[in-house]
Amino acid sequence: MGTQAIRPARITAVLPNSIAEEIGFEPGDALVAINGQKPRDLIDYRFLCADEDLSLEVLDGHGKTHRVEIEKDIDEDLGLEFETALFDGLMQCNNACPFCFIDQQPPGKRGTLYLKDDDYRLSFLYGSYLTLTNLLPQEWERIAQLRLSPLYVSVHATEPEVRSRLLKNARAGQILAQLAWFQEQRLQIHAQVVVCPGINDGDHLQTTLRDLARFHEGEIPAVASAAVVPVGLTRFRPPGDELSPVSPAQAQQVIAQVQAFQADCQQRFGTNFVWLADEWFLIAQQNVPTESHYEDYPQLGNGVGSIRQFLKAFEQSAAALLPTAVSPPRTLTWVVGNAVEHAFQPMVDRLNRVEGLTVRLAALASDYWGRDLTVTGLLTGHDLLLALSDLPSDPSQPHPLGDALLLPSVMLKPSDSGDPQATLFLDDMSVAEVSQRLGCPILPVDDTDALIMACCGELPQQPFADLQPAAGYWAPN
Question: Which sign, positive or negative, has the C-alpha torsion 453, 377, 334, 417?
Answer: positive
pLDDT value at residue 110: 78
CATH of domain 9-82: 2.30.42.10
The amino acid sitting at 395 is: P
Instruction: Say if CB 270 and CB 366 are below 8 A apart.
Output: no
pLDDT value at residue 311: 95
Look at strands 30-34 and 274-276 and give their pairing.
Answer: unpaired
pLDDT value at residue 438: 93
Mean pLDDT in runs of 10 for the chain (477 residues)?
74 95 94 96 95 95 93 92 94 89 84 84 95 95 97 98 95 97 98 97 98 95 98 88 93 98 97 97 94 94 94 96 94 95 95 96 95 91 94 68 93 66 84 92 92 86 43 32
| Concatenated DSSP letters of 54-80 | EEEEEE-TTS-EEEEEEE--TT----E
- Report the alpha-carbon distance of residue 7 to residue 87 in Å, rounded: 5
The amino acid sitting at 325 is: A
The pTM for the full model equals: 0.87
Nearest alpha carbon to residue 156 among 100, 235, 92, 103: 100
Look at strands 223-230 and 274-276 and give their pairing.
Answer: parallel
Instruction: Say if CB 125 and CB 44 are below 8 A apart.
Output: no
Give the H/E segment covering residue 254.
helix 248-269
Look at strands 30-34 and 9-14 and give their pairing.
Answer: antiparallel
The b/e string for 361-391 (b: 16+ C-beta within 10 A; e otherwise) is bbbbbbbbbebebbbbbbbbbbbbbebbeee
| Concatenated DSSP letters of 352-388 | TTSEEEEEEEEEE-BTTTTBSS--GGG--HHHHHHHH
pLDDT value at residue 419: 53
Instruction: Say if CB 413 and CB 471 are below 8 A apart.
Output: no
Which architecture does CATH list for 101-304?
Alpha-Beta Barrel (3.20)
Contacts of 148 (CB under 8 A, 6+ apart): 43, 120, 121, 124, 142, 187
| Concatenated DSSP letters of 146-201 | HT---EEEE-S-SSHHHHHHHHT-GGGGGHHHHHHHHHHHT--EEEEEEE-TTTSS
- Report the alpha-carbon distance of residue 130 to residue 119 in Å, rounded: 6
User: pLDDT, tens digit, for every residue of 290-326?
Assistant: 999 999 999 998 999 999 999 999 999 999 999 999 9
Question: Which sign, positive or negative, has the C-alpha torsion 41, 43, 48, 51?
Answer: positive
pLDDT value at residue 469: 32
- Residue 410: Cβ within 10 Å count: 22
- Report the alpha-carbon distance of residue 366 to residue 234 in Å, rounded: 10
Gyration radius of the chain over CA positions: 24
To 5 degrees, how large is the angle CA 171–CA 177–CA 182?
A: 115
Instruction: Say if CB 319 and CB 312 are below 8 A apart.
Output: no
Q: DSSP character for 219?
A: S
- Report the alpha-carbon distance of residue 386 to residue 41 in Å, rounded: 43
- Report the alpha-carbon distance of residue 408 to residue 443 in Å, rounded: 9
Q: List phi, psi (to 5°) of 58.
A: -125, 140
* End-to-end Cα separation, the chain, in angstroms: 30
Peptide bond into 150 cis (omega under 30): yes
